[in-house]
Each structure stands twice: as structure tokens, then as C-alpha cells.
Structure 1
Amino acid sequence: MSKDEVVKLFEELGVFQAAILMFSYMYQAQSNLSIAKFADMNEASKASTTAQKMANLVDAKIADVQSSTDKNAKAKLPQDVIDYINDPRNDISVTGISDLSGDLSAGDLQTVKAAISAKANNLTTVVNNSQLEIQQMSNTLNLL
């Protein structure tokens, strides 16, 4: 609302009713922000869980390679992990490995796991920050 609109509102409704109306607008706006932040946090939480699941799948392959009696043992990534990494929405880049669908050594698998774990950690940070922001918004709502 512009300054003129606010002045007109106060003149038409009176100070008390206009103030209550203004507080209700502020409360609704703050509430809408909190709801939107919660939705964002929920999506980040789901994405973090998925990233951690993918890292665990890679970890299982690392365990297979490391427990092998063959010193040159290699393993293929599960297709779910390859698809997850290649999905541009996930924004994961694995440096130093050109073919994710080929046989990978334990070191290569560790590199893949580190890239996915970094994504999971970043998403967890987003969730934690969102929780703090929602708490701050709730405190603001309580002050109104």
C-alpha cells in the first residue's frame, strides 16, 4: 500500500480499525513467507535424503571392491546412481572420471561418493538454515 492509501484507510476506518487491518496484512504476509520457506525446506530435506541414499549405494560398491581378494578389483555404479548424477537438476559434477558407466576402482568410487555426499551436506545445511529462518519468522509472528 502506498502512503496515500494508508492515510485514506486510517481516515475512513479510524485509527484502531485501520491499525488492526494493517497488522492483519503484516501477519498474513509473514505467514505466507513462513509457509513458502517450509515448502522449500521440505523439498531440500527430500533431496538430501535421496542424495544420502545414493551415497550409501556407492559406499556398498566401495565395500565390495575393498573386500575383494583381487587387488585390481573394480565395480560398476548402480544405474540409479548414474542417473542421479547425470540429472542436471542435481548439479553434481564428478571430476576426474570420464565414464561413470564403466568399471571403477575403489578410488574412483570414493570420488563419486564424495561428490554425492557434498551435495547431501549442502542440502542438509539448507534445511538447517531454513529451520532457523522459520523459527525467526515464527518469533516475528508472535510479536505481531
Structure 2
Amino acid sequence: MSKDEVVKLFEELGVFQAAILMFSYMYQAQSNLSIAKFADMNEASKASTTAQKMANLVDAKIADVQSSTDKNAKAKLPQDVIDYINDPRNDISVTGIRDLSGDLSAGDLQTVKAAISAKANNLTTVVNNSQLEIQQMSNTLNLL
């Protein structure tokens, strides 16, 4: 609201009713921000869980390769992991590996896991920061 609109509101409703209405607008705006932040946090939490699941799938392949008696053992990534990495919405880049669908050594699998784990950690940080922001917004609402 502009300054003139606020002055007009106070003149039409009186100081007390206008102040209550202004607080109501402020409370609603702050509440809407908190709801939107919670929705964003919820999506980041789901994405973090998915990323961690994918990292665990890669970890299982690493364990298979490392427990093999063949010192040159390799393993293929599960298709779910390949699809997850190739999905542009996930923004994951694995450097140094050209063909994710081929046989990968334990070192290559570690590289893939590190890229996915970095994504999971970033998403967890987003969730933690969102929780702090929601707490701050809640404190602000309590002051109104």
C-alpha cells in the first residue's frame, strides 16, 4: 500500500480498526511466506532422500566390486541411478567418466557416489536453512 492509501484507510476506518487491518495484512503476508518456504523445504527434503537412496545404490555396487576376488572387478550402475544422473532437473555432473552405462571400476563408482552425495548434502543444507528461516518467520509472527 502506498502512503496515501494508508492515510486514507486510517481516515475512513479510524486508527484502531485501520491498525488491526494493517496487522492482519502483515500477518497474512508473513504466513503466506512461511507456507511457501515450507513447501520448498518439503520438496528439497524429498529430493535429498532420493539422492541419498541413489548414493546407497552406488555404495552397494562399490561393496560388490571391493569384495570380489578379481582385483580388476567392475560393475554396472543400476538403471535408476543412470536415469537420476542424466535427469537435467537434478543438475549432477560426473567428471572423468564418459559412459555411465558401461562397466565401472571401484574408483569410478566412488566418483559417481561422490557426485550424488554432494547433491544430497547440498539439498540437506537447503532443508536446514529453510527450517531456520521458517523458525525466524514464526518468531516474527509471534511478535505481531
Superposition TM-score, scaled by structure 2 size = 1.00
- 1:12 aligned counterpart, secondary structure: helix
CA distance in 2: counterparts of 1:143 and 1:6, whole angstroms: 22
CA displacement at 1:25 relative to structure 2 = 0.1
CA displacement at 1:6 relative to structure 2 = 0.3
CA displacement at 1:113 relative to structure 2 = 0.1
CA displacement at 1:140 relative to structure 2 = 0.1
Flag as ranges the 4+ runs of structure 1 deviating above 3 A: none
| Aligned-pair identity (%) | 99
CA distance in 2: counterparts of 1:106 and 1:29, whole angstroms: 52
CA displacement at 1:4 relative to structure 2 = 0.4
Residue 138 of structure 1 corresponds to: 138
CA displacement at 1:92 relative to structure 2 = 0.1
CA distance in 2: counterparts of 1:140 and 1:88, whole angstroms: 37
CA displacement at 1:49 relative to structure 2 = 0.1
**Can you list the C-alpha shifts for 1:6-50, whole angstroms capped at 9, x where unaligned?**
000000000000000000000000000000000000000000000
Count residues with an aligned counterpart. Answer: 144
**Can you list the C-alpha shifts for 1:97-138, whole angstroms capped at 9, x where unaligned?**
000000000000000000000000000000000000000000
CA displacement at 1:56 relative to structure 2 = 0.1
CA displacement at 1:60 relative to structure 2 = 0.1
CA distance in 2: counterparts of 1:12 and 1:114, whole angstroms: 63
- Structure 2 unaligned blocks of 5 or more: none
CA displacement at 1:5 relative to structure 2 = 0.4
CA distance in 2: counterparts of 1:2 and 1:111, whole angstroms: 55
- 1:16 aligned counterpart, secondary structure: helix
Residue 103 of structure 1 corresponds to: 103
CA distance in 2: counterparts of 1:105 and 1:25, whole angstroms: 59
